Amino acid sequence: MDLAVLRDDLVDSLEHESKGIVQSPRLSDAMRTVPREAFLADGQEAYSDRPFERLGTRVLSPSTVARLLEALDPEEGDDVLVVGAGVGYTAAVIAELVGEANVHAIDITRRLVMDARSNLAAAGYEGVLVDRRDGADGLPEYAPYDCVLLEAAAIEPPAALVDQLTEDGRLVMPLGAGEQSLAVVEPDGVAERLGGVAFQPMLVEGEQADTPERNRTQREDRERARRAAQSRAGWEQEWIDWDSR
């Protein structure tokens, strides 16, 4: 089947009153223009409304991308920072909305940065800047930004990202840990919460998808167990067979 037809069918479904996710005509046009198949291996699967796994990260479903961008609501000419570039699809849709020279994207995982650059170039958006950075630090070289989109959850809005907003700028992000909500954050604090979401937590240095250990909690638990074992007195050590002594 013609992939352009599948793309239109997908956006039609997101606009339908049963979902009502895509409401802006500009976002509708942008999602109908960006070839999502350039960002995923299977062209037809690219137009199913579900997430995918690629290079150790979750590729957001089209409906989730649409929900984020309706909240972000970037205007033409806005400078936008995407934190969590992933495969580059969200940055491409934003490039259709504001112009590719106005879009900057960062990711902590080097393989994803290279993948996003390649995908964006293949889709015709090579003007989008993609760099490897710790998301919590943002990209101060090109600040301030009218809009910042964080595609990972954090308990508090990262201070650096808020600082890199313009006076009337906004940060859209999943806010919270166990229970998350999609939040619109302005320079003076959280302005709006737009319902529940479920995103992976923002990674810190050493937790990238291409490192041996990603789960900080599991890693810390193992280290605590190791230290506790080393600090035990002799009679507490499990490896000593006291019955044979």
* CATH code of 118's domain: 3.40.50.150
**244 domain residue, yes or no:** no
Q: Which of 13, 61, 63, 118 is catalytic?
A: 61
pLDDT digits (tens, 9 = 90+) for 152-167: 999 999 999 999 999 9
DSSP state of 50: S
Domain count, the chain: 1
Calpha distance 98→78 (Å, rounded) = 6
DSSP state of 49: S
Considering the entire predicted model, what is its pTM? 0.82
* 4: Cβ contacts below 8 Å, ≥ 6 apart: none
Q: What is the CA radius of gyration of the chain?
A: 21
Range with the lowest mean pLDDT among 100-109, 199-208, 212-221? Answer: 212-221
Q: Is 231 a catalytic residue?
A: no
Q: How confident is the model at residue 106, as a pLDDT?
A: 97
Which domain covers residue 121, as residue numbers?
3-231
Neighbours of 234 (CB within 10 A): 7
Q: How confident is the model at residue 51, as a pLDDT?
A: 87
Helices (H), the chain: 3-15, 25-33, 62-72, 89-98, 110-123, 159-163, 216-230
Neighbours of 61 (CB within 10 A): 14
- pLDDT category of residue 180 using cuts at 50, 70 and 90: very high
Residue 140 structure tokens? 């101060």
**156 domain residue, yes or no:** yes
Token look-up 């150790």 returns 56
Residue 79 structure tokens? 């400078």
pLDDT digits (tens, 9 = 90+) for 28-59: 999 999 999 999 877 668 889 998 887 777 88
**206 domain residue, yes or no:** yes
Calpha distance 127→58 (Å, rounded) = 24
**245 domain residue, yes or no:** no
**52 domain residue, yes or no:** yes
Region of residue 195 (left: phi > 0; alpha: psi -120 to 50; beta: else): left
